Structure 1
Amino acid sequence: MSARPASTTDNRHVAEPTRPHAAPITLADVDERLQQGLDASLRQAAQVDDRFVQLWQALRSGIGGGKRVRPALLIDTFTALGGPEKHREACIEAAAALEMLHAAFLLHDDLIDGDLLRRGRPNAIAEFSARGNAHSAGAGSSWGLAAGTLGGDLLLSSAIRRLAGVRVEDRLRDQLLDEFDETIHLSAAGELADVTQSLISDASQSTGRLSAADAGVSPLEPTRSTVQQTARPQSRSTVPAQTSSVPPLADEALCQIEQTLELKTARYSFVAPVRIGAMLAGADARQISNLSDMARHAGIAFQLTDDLIGVFGDADVTGKSTKVDLQRGTRTALIAVAQHTAVWAELETMIGDPTLDDARAARARDLLNACGARAAVELRARDHLRLSRSLLEDESLPPRLRDCMQAHLDAIAGRQR
C-alpha cells in the first residue's frame, strides 16, 4: 500500500462528527494507542529475557510508518455515519487492532516471499538473521525465520486481544470478533491462493496456460466474488465485463488474480475497516452490505493499480524500482494476462531474471503495452472503481458518508504513477 487516503490525516479527518461537541478521532489517537500497547508488551517481554525484548523492539519498528489506510477507513466510516460517543474509544481500539493485524500479515508475507526489507528498512527477519550470523556462521537464516514466524503470531494474537477488550455491548463485541475471525480466515486463503498461483505459473510458463483448478479457482464462475461464495449472500453489485482486447484465457486469468487480491488484501484492508466502522456506528444491514460491496471493488481497484505502478510507475514518486516485480517474476495481473498472449515467448525470458537491466526492463514494458496487458488491467481497475462509486448512490447511505467514501475513491483513482 502506498497511498495516503484523502479524507484522513494524522490530526484531522474530513468527515466531521454529527454531534457538535464530540471530539474528533484522529490517526494520532490510533498511533498513541498502538504505542501504549507495544510499550506494555515490551515491559512484559523484559520479564522474560533480552532476546524477547529485541523481538518486540523489532516488531515496534515494523509497525511505525505506513499510511494507516485501514484505520482511516474505519474512523471515517464511523464518523460519517454519526457513530455514538459511547463507542468512540472502541473505534480507536478497533482501528489499532486492524493496524496490528496488518503488521502481522506483512511480516508473515515477508516470511513467505523471503523479503528482508519493508518500507526500505530491515524487517524483524533481517534483524534477527544478522544477529544469528554474528553469533554463529550460518545460524542467521534459522533465527530470522523463527523471529518472523513468532513475531507475526504475537502481533496477530495482540490484535485479536485488543479487539476482544473493546467496551461495547456483548452482542456487538461478538459481531466484531466474528468479522475479525472471518477476515483472518479469508486473508489466509488469499495468501495460499497467491502462492499456489505463482507455483503453478512457474511450472507452466512454457505453455503460457494456468490451470484454474490447480490455482484453486473455479473457471466456471471467474467473476463471482470468492468472499461472497464463502461467507456472504449474493451481492447486488455486478462485475466488470470481459476485457475484449485480450484472449478469453487471459481474461479468465485476470479474474483469478482479482479473486486472490480480494481475499488476500481487499478483504482486510478495505472491507473489514468499513464493516467494523459501520457496526460500531449502528448501521443497518442494508448499509453494511452496500459498504461491503463498495469497499470490495475499491480494494481490488487499489491492488490492480498497485500492480501497474510496480511496473509502469515513477520510481521518484513511489520510491520503488519499476524492475523489482519483473526481476522477481511476481505474478501480477499484468503477467497473468501476458502469459496468454503472443508476446509471452519473448517476455518470459525476462520475467524472473534477477539480472534484468534497464534496457531489457524497458523492452518488457513495451511488450506488456503491445499485448494489451496494461490496457486490460487499467480497464478493470477503472471498472471496479466505477462499480464502487455506483454502490455509493444507494439511498440508504447518508450524503455525508457518500462524500467521505468518494474522497477515498478519488485518492485511489488519482494515485501517482
Structure 2
Amino acid sequence: MTVRTEPVVVARIEAALDRFFAERASAVASLNAGFADLWDLAATHARGGKLVRPRLFIDAVEAFCTAEESGDTRGSEGVRKSGRIGEESVDRLAAVLEVLHYAFLLHDDVIDGDLVRRHGPNLIGTVRGQHPDAPDGDSLHWGTSAAILMGDVLLSAAVLDCARLPLPSGPRARVLDLVDEAITETVAGEYLDVGLSDGVVAAELDTVMTMTALKTASYSFSLPLRLAAALSDAAPEVDETLVRVGNHLGVAFQVQDDLLTMFGRHVAHGKDALSDLREGKQTVLVAHLRSSVRWHEIAGVLGEPDVDESGAARIRRAFDESGSRTFAVGLVTHHLAEAARVIGSSTVPLEVRRVVEDCVESLKSRSI
C-alpha cells in the first residue's frame, strides 16, 4: 500500500527515526556494551518498512493545514497551521508511530514464534544467529527475550516522546490520550488473537472481526488520522468520523494481508503462509470456512506444527471451493466502499477527505 507522500517527507520520517534511536544511544551505551549492540540492532531492524502509518499521518497533517489556509474549516475549531505546531513535533510523532509499529511487531514475533520478517531474519532470528555455538534452545531463548525486552523499552520511549513534545498542554494531553488508547486496544486485540489461535476463545466470525479492528485498525489507520486532527484542533465530530473511517480501512487492510499471506507471492509479501497455518491463526478466511461443509477437510491440518506445502495446498483449495476466499475479497470491497462513503458524506475538510480517498484507492490496487 502507498499513500501520496512526497519522497522528501519519507526522508523526514527516516531522519526522525534515526534521531529517535541516536538520542538514546549514548545513555544505552553507558549501561553495557551488549545492550548497546542490541539497541543498534533494533535501530537497524526498525527501518525497511513501508512507513504506512507515519506517511498517512503527515499527509493528514498537511491536508488539515491546507484546509485552514484555503479557508475550509468545516469540522474544525481554528485549525492550526503546521508552522504553529512545528515541523519538529510532526516529525517526532511520525517517528513514534513507526516505533510503536515496530514494538508491536517484536512482541508479535515472540507470540507467533516467527524468526523472519521483511524478507530476512527478524530481531529474534538475528540474535539467535549471533550465537551459533550455544545450544539451540538457549540461543532461541536469548533472541525471544531480547525481542520482549526491546519491545517494552520502545513502547515506553514512544510514550515518553509524546509527553515531551513541544506542544501546548491541551494538544499534548490529547496526543497522549490517543496513543494510550491505541496501545491498549492493540494489546487487547493481540490478546484476543492469541485466545482465538489457542482455541480458548470461540472462533466466531464476529469475534475475529472484533479482533481485527482492535489489533490492526486502531493504531494503523485511526491513530494517524486522529493525531493529525488533534494537532489541528478538529471538532469532536471529525474525530468520530476518523474513528469510523480508520476502522473500515484497517479491517480491509488486515483481510487483504490474510489473503496475501495465503494466496499471494511470498517473495513479494515477505511472510510465509505456513507460519500462520502452523500457528492455527484464526483469520476471516478460517472463520468463514469453519461454517462450511468443507471444514472437516482441514480441521485436523490447521494448527499442526508440521504443516507442509502439501497441507497448505489442501487448505487453499478448501478456501477457494467453499467460497471463503470470495467472501474475504467481498469483505475488503465492502469496507473500502464504506470508508469512502463515510468520509464522502462527512464534514471533514475536503483536503483531508482526499487523503482518505487516496488511501482507499491505494488499498484497492493492492495485488491479492
Cα distance, 1:328 vs structure 2:
3.9
Q: Find the counterpart in structure 2 of residue 58 from structure 1.
A: 41
Question: What residue number does 1:28 align with?
Answer: 11
Q: CA RMSD in A?
A: 2.0
The 5 Å alignment of 1:156-305 reads: 156-200=155-199, 211=202, 253-305=204-256
Conserved in 1, the CA contact under 8 Å of 2:3 and 2:56?
Answer: no
The answer (yes or no) to whether the contact 1:129–1:141 under 8 Å persists in 2 is: yes
In the superposition, relative to structure 1, how do residues 135 and 316 fare at CA in structure 2: closer, same or farther (>3 Å)? closer
Give the count of matched residue pairs: 352
Q: How does 1:8-407 map to 2 (within 5 A)?
A: 8-11=5-8, 26-82=9-65, 83-84=80-81, 85-87=83-85, 88-132=87-131, 134=133, 138-200=137-199, 211=202, 253-407=204-358
| 2:279–2:305 contact (8 Å) kept in structure 1 | yes
Aligned-pair distance for 1:314? 3.0
Taking the aligned partners of 1:262 and 1:358, their CA distance within structure 2 comes to: 30
Structure 1 residue 7 corresponds to structure 2 residue 32? no
Single out whichever of 59-68 and 130-139 deviates more from structure 2: 130-139
CA distance in 2, matches of 1:56, 1:131: 15
Task: Confirm or deny: 8 A CA contact 2:196 2:281 kept in the other structure.
Answer: no
Q: What SS class does the counterpart of residue 23 from structure 2 fall into?
A: helix
CA distance in 2, matches of 1:325, 1:136: 26
1:119 deviation in Å? Answer: 0.9
Q: Which moved more, 1:262-271 or 1:377-386?
A: 377-386
Distance 2:331 2:226 in 1: 24
Unaligned segments of structure 1, at least 5 residues: 12-25, 202-209, 213-252
**Structure 1 pair 316–145 and aligned structure 2 pair: CA distance change class (3 A):** closer
Whole-angstrom distance in 2 between the partners of 1:375 and 1:137: 42
Distance 1:200 1:357, change over 3 A: closer
1:143 aligned partner, one-letter code: W
1:357 and 1:198 map into 2 onto residues whose CA distance is: 19
Asked if 2 retains the 8 angstrom alpha-carbon contact of 1:313 and 1:322, the reply is: no
What is the CA distance between 1:358 and its match in structure 2? 4.2
Task: State how far apart, in whole Å, the 2-side matches of 1:395 and 1:143 are.
Answer: 50
1:286 counterpart SS class: helix
C-alpha distance in structure 2 between counterparts of 1:395 and 1:324, whole Å: 41
The answer as to whether partners of 1:334 and 1:373 remain within 8 angstroms in 2 is: yes
Relative distance call for 1:280 and 1:304 in structure 2 (3 A) is same
Give, in whole Å, the separation in 2 of the partners of 1:330 and 1:402: 34
Q: Distance in 2 between matches of 1:139 and 1:369?
A: 41
- The alpha-carbon distance between structure 1 residues 106 and 173, as it changes in their structure 2 partners (threshold 3 A), is same
| Higher mean C-alpha displacement, 109-118 vs 184-193 | 109-118
Partner Cα distance (2:310, 2:116) in 1: 26
Give ranges in structure 2 of 5+ residues lacking alignment.
66-79
Shift of 1:27: 2.1
- Aligned partners of 1:145 and 1:158: how far apart in 2? 20
CA displacement 1:247-296 (0-9 Å, x = unmatched): xxxxxx22211110111111001111100011112211111211121111
1:168 to 1:415, Cα distance in 2 relative to 1, 3 A: same
Percentage identity across aligned positions? 32
Deviation at 1:66, TM superposition (A): 0.4
CA distance in 2, matches of 1:124, 1:8: 28
Q: Shift in Å at residue 51 of structure 1?
A: 0.4
Q: Which structure has the highest helix share of the two?
A: 2
CA distance in 2, matches of 1:321, 1:347: 19
Q: What is the CA distance between 1:319 and its match in structure 2?
A: 4.2
